[in-house]
């Protein structure tokens, strides 16, 4: 069996609701007919019958009494029959009710005890439902006669002939209004879903630029916003992927060009001296090492970003780790004529991964020294501030424009657009730093201005680096 889609289910629900409403209206009208109309007629009939019978409870059922009862029959809405004996009723009312005799043995027993009997049902000869009652007339010596009062009942159509048109009008108006509401809901719900289905197919084909334009805050609007956010994320991811592919091709192509060119020169003996050939080999070795470092950094960065690396945390004397890292750059600092200014709190003990934190110090210091001006100042600070450990490194060299500063830390991004090879590196150092800081629940920030220079600020919660 074919499963119904959402729109078909809602349509089915609407049709079932209409059918249920009509069925309920039918039973409600039938309830009004049976519980209100019939009961009111029966109560009135019983009241009039008992009252009439009580007027003649003395003596016998004389001609004068019968004449008064017949006069009451003329002025009353009921049909009234008075008889001395029950057998005479069949003469004045020769009909069956519901295809049965008017009086059975059980009715006789009730009447002889002085209790009235209600009889209602269909009379074929009258083609109507009737409601009647037989009342015993008591005398001094017992029962002296019986009064049978009955009234033909009006049909449901007759009873509600004035209200049925009103009910039909109100019902039609209600269903029309309901149809308009359902149609509005239908359009407002399924039109965006239809657009969403079309755009989803576009996304599946790799087109992430389409957006669902909806100015609403309900569930459909939230779904549209979620779809737009997903499309934007996929679009940015696709853009980063293309940029990454372009960058890695560029990064790999350059050393491969060097390696291929110098290897061809060596193979073809295109050099003037053994020293020049040796220089070619040194260049090939450096470019090979650079390629190897590039691949290593890429794998490492991928592991960090995918949370595939587990930190090996232990208590660390963070100041000593920073001083050890600074010692590795002492020659570079001297060669560039930098003045090193430090402000290091040597009492800081933190829990963290020592190897990864040293990598943070190493990469940030390496960048700061590379981009410092000759004979400039390198400022390194490690302090505990407001229950947070703050590490800062500031150099007075090349500043970073505001349009580039938010991109610092992206894969292969470097502020030197020409990608000169004087500074070396892979363009992945700060990307790795940011991921290590993230894994330590820290924050990374970089600011740059001509007056102060470029400052990298890294903060960790106290007790966990």
pLDDT tens digits, one per residue of 87-129: 888 888 888 888 888 888 888 888 888 889 998 888 888 888 8
Residue 1 pLDDT class (50, 70, 90 cuts): low
Report d(CA 302, CA 236) in Å as an integer. Answer: 18
Contact assessment for residue 440 and residue 352, using Cβ atoms and an 8 Å cutoff? yes
Please check whether the two domains, 6-159 and 203-307, share a CATH topology: no
Query: Residue 323's pLDDT is what?
Result: 93
Report d(CA 65, CA 397) in Å as an integer. Answer: 132
Query: Residue 271's pLDDT is what?
Result: 78
Report d(CA 411, CA 422) in Å as an integer. Answer: 19
Give the C-alpha distances (Å, rounded to integers) separating 142 from 57, 212, 259. Answer: 9, 93, 137
Give the C-alpha distances (Å, rounded to integers) separating 217 from 212, 269, 275. Answer: 13, 74, 74
Question: Rounded to 10 degrees, what is the CA torsion of 359, 360, 363, 368?
Answer: -150
Domain-by-domain residue ranges, the chain? Answer: 6-159, 203-307, 310-461
The pLDDT of 202-231, averaged and rounded, is 79
Which of 195-199, 295-299, 430-434 is predicted with the least confidence, judged by mean pLDDT?
Answer: 295-299
Which of 10-14, 222-226, 349-353 is predicted with the least confidence, judged by mean pLDDT?
Answer: 10-14
Query: Residue 75's pLDDT is what?
Result: 62
Bridge partners of 392, per DSSP, are: 381, 457
- CATH fold of 6-159 reads Beta-Lactamase (3.30.450)
Residue 425 pLDDT class (50, 70, 90 cuts): low
Domain 203-307 CATH class label: mainly alpha
pLDDT of 264 higher than 50: yes
Contact assessment for residue 298 and residue 273, using Cβ atoms and an 8 Å cutoff? no
Contact assessment for residue 61 and residue 144, using Cβ atoms and an 8 Å cutoff? yes
Place of tokens 């057998």: 87
- Greatest Cα pair distance in the chain: 161
- Please state whether the predicted TM-score (pTM) of the whole model is above 0.75: no
pLDDT of 164 higher than 70: no
Place of tokens 């629940």: 441
Handedness of CA 272, 273, 274, 280 (dihedral sign): negative
pLDDT of 419 higher than 60: no
Query: Residue 270's pLDDT is what?
Result: 81
pLDDT of 426 higher than 70: no
Place of tokens 């990608």: 419
CATH number attached to the domain at 310-461? 3.30.565.10
pLDDT tens digits, one per residue of 265-279: 888 888 788 888 888
Question: Shortest CA distance to 128 belongs to which of 163, 95, 91, 169?
Answer: 95
Question: Shortest CA distance to 290 belongs to which of 244, 257, 246?
Answer: 257
Residue 465 pLDDT class (50, 70, 90 cuts): very low
pLDDT tens digits, one per residue of 178-192: 778 877 777 776 777
State the chain's mean pLDDT as an integer.
79
Question: Shortest CA distance to 88 belongs to which of 66, 68, 121?
Answer: 66
Residue 157 pLDDT class (50, 70, 90 cuts): low
Place of tokens 């499963």: 3
pLDDT of 70 higher than 50: yes
pLDDT tens digits, one per residue of 16-40: 777 777 777 766 766 666 667 778 8
């Amino acid at each position: 069996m074919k499963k119904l889609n959402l729109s078909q289910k809602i349509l089915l629900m609407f049709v079932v609701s209409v059918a249920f409403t009509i069925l309920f209206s039918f039973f409600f009208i039938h309830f009004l007919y049976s519980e209100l109309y019939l009961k009111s007629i029966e109560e009135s009939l019983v009241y009039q019958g008992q009252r009439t019978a009580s007027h003649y409870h003395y003596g016998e059922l004389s001609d004068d009494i019968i004449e008064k009862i017949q006069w009451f029959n003329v002025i009353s809405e009921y049909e009234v029959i008075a008889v001395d004996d029950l057998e005479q009723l069949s003469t004045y009312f020769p009909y069956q009710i519901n295809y049965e005799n008017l009086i059975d043995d059980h009715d006789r027993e009730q009447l002889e005890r002085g209790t009235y009997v209600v009889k209602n049902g269909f009379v074929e000869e009258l083609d109507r439902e009737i409601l009647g009652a037989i009342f015993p007339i008591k005398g001094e010596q017992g029962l002296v006669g019986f009064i049978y009062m009955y009234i033909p009942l009006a049909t449901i159509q007759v009873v509600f002939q004035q209200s049925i048109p009103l009910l039909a009008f109100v019902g039609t108006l209600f269903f029309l209004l309901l149809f308009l509401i359902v149609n509005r809901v239908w359009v407002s719900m399924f039109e965006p879903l239809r657009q969403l289905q079309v755009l989803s197919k576009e996304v599946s084909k790799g087109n992430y630029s389409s957006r669902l334009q909806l100015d609403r805050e309900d569930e459909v609007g939230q779904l549209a916003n979620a779809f737009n956010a997903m499309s934007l994320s996929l679009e940015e991811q696709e853009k980063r992927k293309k940029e990454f592919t372009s960058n890695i091709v560029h990064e790999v192509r350059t050393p491969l060009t060097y390696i291929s060119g110098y290897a061809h020169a060596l193979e073809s003996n295109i050099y003037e001296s053994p020293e020049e050939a040796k220089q070619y080999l040194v260049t090939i070795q450096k470019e090979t090492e650079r390629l190897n470092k590039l691949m290593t950094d890429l794998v490492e960065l991928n592991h960090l970003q995918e949370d595939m690396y587990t930190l090996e945390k232990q208590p660390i004397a963070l100041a000593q780790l920073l001083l050890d890292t600074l010692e590795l750059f002492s020659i570079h600092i001297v060669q560039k004529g930098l003045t090193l200014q430090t402000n290091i709190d040597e009492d800081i003990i933190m829990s963290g991964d020592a190897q990864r934190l040293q990598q943070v110090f190493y990469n940030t210091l390496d960048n700061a020294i590379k981009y410092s001006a000759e004979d400039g100042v390198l400022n390194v600070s490690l302090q505990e501030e407001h229950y947070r450990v703050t590490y800062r490194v500031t150099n007075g060299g090349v500043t970073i424009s505001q349009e580039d500063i938010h991109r610092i830390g992206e894969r292969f991004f470097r502020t030197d657009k020409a990608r000169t090879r004087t500074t070396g590196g892979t363009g992945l150092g700060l990307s790795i730093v940011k991921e290590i800081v993230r894994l330590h629940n820290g924050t990374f920030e970089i600011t740059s201005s001509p007056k102060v220079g470029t400052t990298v600020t890294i903060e960790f919660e106290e007790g966990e680096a």
